[in-house]
C-alpha cells in the first residue's frame, strides 16, 4: 500500500503551511496560525513579523517553482475559524477566456479565486492524485530548505 503524500510544506511553532486539500490548483497553499486567533490582531508583534517573513518566502518559492503570473495572498475568515491565509497562484490559463475574446478588463482577483475554487473543487484527499500537486509540494519544501532560500529560525 502506498503512503498518501503529506500536504505539509512547512511547519514551525506558530504556523503550519500546507497545500489546499480541496481545490485542484498546484501551488495553492494555506498558511494557518496554530493558536487560531481570529485575525492578524490576535497575533503578538513577533508573530505578525514572522508571518510576514514566512509569506514572503513562500511567495518567492511559488514564483520559482510554478511560475504563476501572480500570487494572491488573502485572508477572509468567513467559513473556517482561525487565522489562515490563502496563497493562490494565478496562472495564465485562469484568465485565458478573456484573452481569447480580445478582452483585457482588469482582473477581479477575489471573483477569479472564487470561480476557480468552485470549478476545481475536489474531494479532500483527491489532491494527492491530481497532476503534479504532490511534486509541487516537494519542490516548494526543497526550495525552502535550500540554504540560500531557507527561512530564518523562528
Any domain includes 3: no
Residue 154, domain member (yes or no): no
Q: pTM for this one?
A: 0.88
Residue 152 in domain: no
End-to-end distance of the chain based on CA atoms, in angstroms?
Answer: 36
Confidence of residue 102 (pLDDT cuts 50, 70, 90): low
Domain range for residue 68?
A: 8-145
What does the pLDDT read at residue 43? 92
Residue 101: inside a domain, yes or no?
yes
Is residue 24 in a domain?
A: yes
Residue 108 lies in a domain: yes
- SS3 state at 90: strand
User: Domain total for the chain?
Assistant: 1
Residue 139 falls within a domain, yes or no?
yes
Q: From the centroid of its chain, how far is CA 85?
A: 8
Gyration radius of the chain over CA positions: 16
Q: Is the pLDDT of residue 101 over 60?
A: no
d(CA 78, CA 46): 25
Q: Please compute the mean of the pLDDT values over residues 90-116 and round it to a whole number.
A: 81
Residue 13, domain CATH: 3.30.428.10
Amino acid at each position: 500500500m502506498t503512503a498518501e503524500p503529506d500536504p505539509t510544506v512547512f511547519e514551525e511553532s506558530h504556523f503550519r503551511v500546507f497545500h489546499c486539500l480541496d481545490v485542484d490548483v498546484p501551488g495553492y497553499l494555506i498558511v494557518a496560525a496554530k493558536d487560531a486567533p481570529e485575525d492578524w490582531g490576535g497575533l503578538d508583534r513577533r508573530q505578525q513579523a514572522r508571518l510576514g517573513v514566512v509569506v514572503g518566502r513562500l511567495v518567492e518559492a511559488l514564483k520559482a517553482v510554478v511560475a504563476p503570473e501572480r500570487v494572491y495572498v488573502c485572508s477572509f475568515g468567513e467559513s473556517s475559524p482561525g487565522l489562515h491565509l490563502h496563497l493562490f497562484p494565478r496562472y495564465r490559463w485562469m484568465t485565458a477566456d478573456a484573452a481569447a475574446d480580445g478582452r483585457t478588463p482588469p482582473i477581479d482577483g477575489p471573483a477569479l479565486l472564487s470561480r476557480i475554487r468552485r470549478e476545481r473543487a475536489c474531494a479532500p484527499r483527491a489532491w494527492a492524485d491530481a497532476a503534479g500537486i504532490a511534486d509541487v509540494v516537494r519542490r516548494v519544501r526543497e526550495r525552502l530548505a535550500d540554504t540560500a532560500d531557507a527561512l530564518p529560525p523562528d
